[in-house]
């Protein structure tokens, strides 16, 4: 019984791989270059790409459960549909898919709408699947640490509705719990959606206050100019992606990322411990600097 992990070297995938290994699972990782991949020795690696049908077909051969994670790229939707069709061809019934919270609400945001389309495909194809819908990864804020510490500004246009930011380690562990639940079940389990959120719903001002407390230096919230956010993002990502991120930020301002009743209790029960907080993330990030 083999679990294939896609996106195995990324923010979430690496935690999924490590957690599966620690729990004694038989893990295969799909990577672009096995020689460069920092993968535990216990894991078998296979070279492949979502758009290389032959390599993906080989990677899926003999797999019992699939963890499907597609990066935010221009052809993300196509990549996911190819993977799902090939998984069905390989006889794989059990899937855990990493989507995003409010994929059915942020319908004008390209990578949200694409993930919602994949969710619908999973359901229509009849997979025994868990669709994980995480909120904003607090770990994304590592990229703006220098702005926070060097300029005293939290620059992300989070808004005042609040985001239930979640730690990537919690997402990875919850994914593994469900992968192993589906892998070990003698019966085919029904499709399920799980919102994956953090312990607090935080506004931009809340997060600035956390950085102020954690660093011992004043940190201000940078405001809600999404056009400026797009311009700044273009310095380190393609224009289409920067615009996608702007559209997402605009939905942060109008809708937020709010958990549903019972989400946090459900996750805490699954993990058997409290969810990691943004304050803990900020302290760990500053300590690692």
- Is the per-residue pLDDT at 175 higher than 90? yes
Within-domain flag for 108: yes
Distance, CA of 180 to CA of 198 (rounded, Å):
22
Within-domain flag for 173: yes
Domain interval for residue 7: 3-136+167-197+259-276
pLDDT at residue 33 in the model: 86
CATH number at residue 266: 3.40.50.720
Within-domain flag for 232: no
pLDDT at residue 1 in the model: 83
What percentage of residues in the chain have a pLDDT greater than 90?
Answer: 93
- Is the per-residue pLDDT at 36 higher than 90? no
Mean pLDDT across the stretch 168-174? Answer: 98
* Cβ within 8 Å of residue 210, ≥6 positions away: 202, 278, 279, 282
Within-domain flag for 210: no
Distance, CA of 245 to CA of 136 (rounded, Å):
12
- Is the per-residue pLDDT at 51 higher than 80? yes
Please write the tens of the pLDDT for every residue from 240-268.
Answer: 999 999 999 999 999 999 999 999 999 99
Mean pLDDT across the stretch 190-208? Answer: 98
Number of folded domains that form the chain: 1
Within-domain flag for 74: yes
Instruction: Report which DSSP code applies to 141.
Output: G
Residue 154, CA distances (Å) to 97, 158, 273 in order: 31, 10, 29
pLDDT at residue 67 in the model: 98
- Is the per-residue pLDDT at 72 higher than 90? yes
pLDDT at residue 132 in the model: 98
Within-domain flag for 221: no
- Is the per-residue pLDDT at 289 higher than 80? no
* Cβ within 8 Å of residue 164, ≥6 positions away: 101, 135, 136, 197, 198, 200, 201, 202, 257, 258, 259, 263
- Is the per-residue pLDDT at 29 higher than 90? yes
Distance, CA of 181 to CA of 232 (rounded, Å):
42
- Is the per-residue pLDDT at 34 higher than 90? no
Residue 94, CA distances (Å) to 59, 78, 128, 183, 188 in order: 15, 20, 5, 7, 8
Q: Model-level pTM?
A: 0.96
Within-domain flag for 225: no
Dihedral over Cα of 124, 128, 134, 140: its sign: negative
- Is the per-residue pLDDT at 121 higher than 90? yes
* Count of C-beta atoms within a 10 Å radius of residue 188: 11
CB 245 within 8 A of CB 230: yes
pLDDT at residue 38 in the model: 85
pLDDT at residue 261 in the model: 97
Question: By C-alpha distance, which of 108, 102, 104 is closest to 135?
Answer: 102
Distance, CA of 183 to CA of 177 (rounded, Å):
10
Mean pLDDT across the stretch 26-55? Answer: 91
pLDDT band at residue 224 under the 50/70/90 scheme: very high
Mean pLDDT across the stretch 220-228? Answer: 95
3-state secondary structure (DSSP) of residue 185:
coil
pLDDT at residue 116 in the model: 98
Average pLDDT score over the chain: 96
Distance, CA of 95 to CA of 78 (rounded, Å):
17
Within-domain flag for 143: no
- Is the per-residue pLDDT at 95 higher than 90? yes
pLDDT band at residue 37 under the 50/70/90 scheme: confident
pLDDT band at residue 35 under the 50/70/90 scheme: confident
* Cβ within 8 Å of residue 193, ≥6 positions away: 119, 130, 131, 133
pLDDT at residue 108 in the model: 97
């Amino acid at each position: 019984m083999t679990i294939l992990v896609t996106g195995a070297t990324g923010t979430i995938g690496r935690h999924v791989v490590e957690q599966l290994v620690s729990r004694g699972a038989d893990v295969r990782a799909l990577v672009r270059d096995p020689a460069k991949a920092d993968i535990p020795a216990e894991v078998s690696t296979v070279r492949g790409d979502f758009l290389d049908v032959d390599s993906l077909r080989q990677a899926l051969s003999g797999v019992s459960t699939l963890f499907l994670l597609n990066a935010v790229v221009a052809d993300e939707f196509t990549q996911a549909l190819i993977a799902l069709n090939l998984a069905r061809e390989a006889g794989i019934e059990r899937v855990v898919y990493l989507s995003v919270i409010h994929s059915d609400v942020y319908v004008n945001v390209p990578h949200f709408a694409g993930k919602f389309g994949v969710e619908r495909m999973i359901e229509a194809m009849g997979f025994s699947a868990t669709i994980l819908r995480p909120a904003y990864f607090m770990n994304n804020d590592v990229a703006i640490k220098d702005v926070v510490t060097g300029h005293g500004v939290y620059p992300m246009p989070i808004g005042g509705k609040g985001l239930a930011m979640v730690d990537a380690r919690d997402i990875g562990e919850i994914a593994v719990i469900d992968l192993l639940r589906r892998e070990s079940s003698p019966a085919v389990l029904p499709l399920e959606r799980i919102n994956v959120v953090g312990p607090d719903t935080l506004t931009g001002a809340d997060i600035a206050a956390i950085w102020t407390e954690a660093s011992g230096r004043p940190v201000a919230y940078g405001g809600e100019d999404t056009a400026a956010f797009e311009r700044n993002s273009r310095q380190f990502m393609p224009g289409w992606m920067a615009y996608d991120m702007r559209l997402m930020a605009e939905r942060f301002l109008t809708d937020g990322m709010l958990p549903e009743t019972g989400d946090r209790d459900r996750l805490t029960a699954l993990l058997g411990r409290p969810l990691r907080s943004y304050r803990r993330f900020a302290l760990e990030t500053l300590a690692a600097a």
